[in-house]
């Protein structure tokens, strides 16, 4: 009888275990004769071992040591890093150098920069490869440029690319040094095994020797490329010991990327051209299918990241072919011209996280960093900081047993699962609307309309683009912002309707977009108001008193010396000029010499009642031209051309200028306002400035 009962219980054990997992019941519930395990906590003398010396590991060490100190607990923190690490004390240096490549784009978002300041970590100037002042979002129709009003930087996380003279200055080394200053120790080795000891602590084994360390808590911060094996280094094997320690652990889903480094060499012009700007390009070509391209300047170097179906289906043998095809794409050749003799320094194909790990914790062990999860396609370092800070808080305040860790991780898992699911919807929307010429024109026009009519803090669409490109906000909030009724109305009224109106205007005036670039010419409301006030004060005698019936301002960046732009503006009244030649409007110089005060330019417009003349009042070579409106269509007014050096922050770029045009006048009769409405000026000058840019730059 006893044997039969035992047999039945043994036979039913698998079903009971499955039932337990399904209901997520504890083992102690199914075994009432066993006492529940005590809550495990860190105490004085506890040893915490961190596997991986990247951002997640260093951030966790710093946060944990500070939390422990504030709680009155003295603990020992050891970071194990398999890449080359120089210990500060041993070498008597001020740096910890982590060598090799760390498979990262190297962008520090505004959130990361704020987090560093919060931790009191001042990033050394030598670690910062470039400061970001502008984010450019390339769409099929036009590029939308966003000013960066918060601190953002680009860095190298490791010592690559090969040949860098300042390779010891990198972000991971800086964080390692900071963790050592906080009290952590660093061991250069590779972990080969984990197991529980008789007293329940974790025994850690290392490669190449018989040394072991008994730890009270282990944080795995090795990253997906160390764990899953980087595809560029196919010899690496998964670290199976992690799954042995945490039954049921499944790493997050990943996606293949292609990252390569370019060297601009002695081409200072190209280096300064892209310096201070991040580029997000949302399409490749019909043969090279890409969903996202990131171009990150880093001094004389450029980091390029490619994501898309063409990369998903490729192998390492395809890397050079893909890079060559990418560099020959028309929109890339304009940004990174092949004649610049750019050299490709190194290539890697790391994994990028697209999901969340399952069951990333156990008794005395937890996974942190991108082996747990990360924001979809954006701000992986920011995710590492957030998750590391959370784990440090849980380990000190809740405990290090599985149940305590589960409670701490629960909200984070839910947050990232929801956030990354919604992130896929955000990028689906972007792919649909930004890769199509008509749809991307609607979005561009909606953003520019909003920019011209609202102050910066009230621009909904610009905030959506900023949060998406910079990683400033979670995807949940971005989705809610996208589908807000006011955002939809802005796209409909300021985007769709204005685009249709402008398109019809282009047809009427015979404007055909050719092979020349389409560039942004819209000016923000705050910029317009500042410049308008200055110009009206300077030319008050020509504009009269009170408000003007008509005011407009346009600006465009040009990669050309101011003198060259000035000379081309002198052809404004010439018959053979290659810009501003719309149907029904004939612009001719009827007296005087080009760019000489006193010369008169006649606008002959159909119907002729709209015709008028301009007289050049003032001319400063390479700087500005100011015309007064003499008679006809305008009654007292100014057409003002201004050439000024283009600035990125406080940095002035040689031979890169900003051409601005201001038009302001009064109508002699209100009827004229309706015969030639303001939007016609917008269409004509937008088209003509893009033509002028092409002429000047080529």
Q: Which residues contact 557 (CB under 8 A, 6 or more apart)?
A: 519, 646, 656, 657, 658, 693
With the CA atoms of 392, 393, 399 and 402 taken in that order, what torsion angle do they form, in degrees rounded to the nearest 10? Answer: -70
- What is the pLDDT confidence band of residue 88, given thresholds at 50, 70 and 90? very low
Residue 548 has pLDDT above 90, yes or no: no
Give the pLDDT of residue 334: 83
Which of 231-245, 461-475, 559-573 has the weakest average pLDDT?
Answer: 231-245
Q: Cα separation of 642 and 661, whole Å? A: 6
Question: Which domains, and CATH codes, for the chain?
Answer: 1-36 (no CATH), 47-106+164-253+353-419 (3.50.50.60), 123-155+258-349 (3.30.9), 436-508 (no CATH), 525-697 (3.30.530.20)
Q: Cα separation of 213 and 51, whole Å? A: 12
Give the pLDDT of residue 673: 67
Give the pLDDT of residue 543: 75
Judging by beta carbons within 10 Å of its beta carbon (0-12, 13-18, 19+), is residue 97 exposed, middle or buried?
Answer: buried
In angstroms, the Cα distances linking 505 to 68, 325, 523 are: 68, 37, 21
Give the pLDDT of residue 31: 34
Give the pLDDT of residue 553: 96
Residue 92 has pLDDT above 60, yes or no: no
Per DSSP (E only), the strands in 396-469 are none
Give the pLDDT of residue 492: 98
Residue that the structure tokens 């980091």 belong to: 303
pTM score of the predicted model: 0.86
Give the pLDDT of residue 56: 95
Which of 198-207, 330-339, 420-429 has the weakest average pLDDT?
Answer: 330-339
Q: Cα separation of 249 and 246, whole Å? A: 6
Asked if 293 and 153 count as a contact pair (C-beta separation under 8 A), the reply is: no
What are the φ and ψ backbone dihedral angles of 12, each rounded to 5 degrees?
-85, -10
Q: Mean pLDDT throughout 247-275?
A: 87
Q: Cα separation of 531 and 491, whole Å? A: 28
- What is the pLDDT confidence band of residue 305, given thresholds at 50, 70 and 90? very high
| DSSP letter assigned to residue 666 | E
Residue 77 has pLDDT above 70, yes or no: yes
Give the pLDDT of residue 692: 96
pLDDT in tens, 170-222: 899 999 999 999 999 999 888 888 999 999 999 999 887 778 999 999 999 98
Higher pLDDT, 94 or 206: 206
Give the pLDDT of residue 223: 84
Give the pLDDT of residue 148: 94
Q: Measured at the alpha carbon of residue 651, what is the angle toward residues 650 and 652, in degrees to the nearest 5?
A: 115
Percentage of the chain modeled with pLDDT above 90: 65
pLDDT, the chain, mean: 86
Give the pLDDT of residue 671: 61
Q: Cα separation of 282 and 137, whole Å? A: 8
- What is the pLDDT confidence band of residue 264, given thresholds at 50, 70 and 90? confident
Q: Cα separation of 189 and 519, whole Å? A: 52
Residue 317 has pLDDT above 80, yes or no: yes
Give the pLDDT of residue 420: 93
């Amino acid at each position: 009888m006893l044997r039969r009962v035992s047999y039945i219980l043994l036979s039913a054990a698998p079903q009971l275990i499955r039932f337990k997992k399904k209901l997520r019941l504890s083992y102690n519930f199914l075994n009432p004769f066993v006492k529940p395990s005590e809550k495990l906590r860190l105490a004085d003398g506890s040893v915490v071992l961190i596997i991986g010396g990247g951002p997640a590991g260093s951030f966790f060490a710093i946060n944990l040591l500070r939390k422990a100190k504030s709680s009155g607990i003295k603990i020992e923190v050891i970071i194990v890093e398999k890449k080359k690490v120089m210990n500060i004390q041993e070498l008597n240096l001020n740096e910890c150098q982590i060598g090799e490549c760390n498979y990262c784009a190297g962008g520090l978002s505004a959130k990361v920069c704020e987090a560093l300041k919060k931790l009191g970590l001042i990033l050394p100037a030598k670690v910062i490869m470039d400061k970001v002042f502008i984010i450019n979002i390339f769409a099929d129709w036009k590029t939308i440029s966003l000013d960066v009003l918060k601190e953002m930087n680009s860095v190298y996380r490791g010592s690559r690319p090969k040949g860098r003279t300042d390779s010891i200055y990198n972000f991971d080394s800086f964080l390692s040094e900071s963790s050592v200053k906080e009290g952590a120790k660093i061991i250069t080795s590779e972990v080969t095994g984990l197991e529980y000891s008789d007293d329940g602590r974790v025994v850690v084994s290392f490669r190449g020797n018989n040394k072991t360390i008994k730890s009270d808590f282990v944080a795995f911060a090795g990253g997906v490329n160390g764990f899953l094996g980087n595809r560029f280094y196919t010899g690496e094997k998964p670290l199976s010991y992690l799954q042995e320690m945490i039954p049921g652990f499944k790493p997050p889903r990943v996606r293949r990327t292609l990252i390569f480094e370019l060297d601009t060499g002695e081409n200072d012009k190209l280096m300064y051209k892209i310096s201070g700007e991040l580029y997000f390009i949302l399409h490749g070509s019909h043969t090279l299918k890409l969903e996202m391209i990131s171009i990150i300047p880093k001094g004389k170097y450029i980091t390029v990241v490619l994501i898309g179906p063409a990369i998903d289906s490729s192998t390492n043998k395809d890397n050079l072919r893909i890079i060559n095809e990418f560099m020959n794409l028309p929109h890339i050749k304009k940004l990174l011209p092949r004649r610049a003799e750019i050299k490709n320094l190194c290539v890697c194909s790391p994994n990028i996280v697209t999901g969340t790990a399952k069951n990333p914790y156990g008794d005395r062990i937890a996974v942190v960093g991108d082996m747990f999860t990360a924001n979809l396609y954006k701000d992986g370092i920011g995710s590492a900081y957030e998750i590391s800070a959370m784990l440090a808080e849980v380990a000190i305040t809740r405990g290090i047993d599985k149940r305590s860790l589960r409670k701490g991780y629960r909200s984070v898992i839910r947050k990232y699962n929801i956030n990354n699911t919604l992130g896929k919807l955000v990028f689906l929307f972007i792919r649909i609307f930004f890769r199509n010429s008509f749809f991307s024109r609607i979005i561009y026009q909606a953003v520019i309309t909003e920019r011209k009519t609202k102050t910066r803090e009230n621009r909904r669409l610009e905030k959506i683009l900023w949060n998406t490109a910079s990683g400033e906000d979670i995807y949940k909030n971005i989705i809610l912002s996208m589908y807000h009724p006011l955002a939809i109305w802005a796209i409909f009224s300021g985007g769709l309707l204005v685009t249709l109106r402008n398109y019809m205007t282009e047809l009427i005036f015979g404007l055909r977009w050719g092979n020349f670039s389409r560039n942004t010419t819209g000016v923000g409301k705050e910029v317009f108001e500042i410049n308008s006030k200055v110009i009206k004060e300077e030319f008050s005698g020509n504009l009269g008193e009170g408000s003007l019936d008509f005011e407009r301002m346009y600006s465009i960046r040009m990669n050309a010396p101011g003198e060259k732009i000035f000379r081309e503006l002198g052809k404004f009244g010439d018959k053979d000029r290659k810009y501003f030649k719309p149907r029904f409007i004939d612009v001719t110089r009827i007296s005087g010499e080009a760019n000489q005060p006193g010369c008169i330019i006649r606008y002959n417009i159909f119907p002729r009642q709209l015709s008028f003349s301009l007289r050049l009042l003032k001319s400063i070579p390479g700087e500005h031209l100011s015309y007064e409106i003499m008679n006809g269509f305008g009654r007292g007014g100014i057409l003002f051309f201004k050439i000024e050096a283009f600035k990125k922050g406080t940095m002035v770029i040689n031979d890169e200028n900003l051409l601005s045009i201001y038009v302001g006048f009064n109508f002699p009769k209100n009827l004229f306002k309706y015969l030639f409405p303001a939007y016609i000026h917008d269409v004509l000058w937008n088209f003509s400035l893009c033509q002028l840019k092409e002429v000047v730059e080529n």
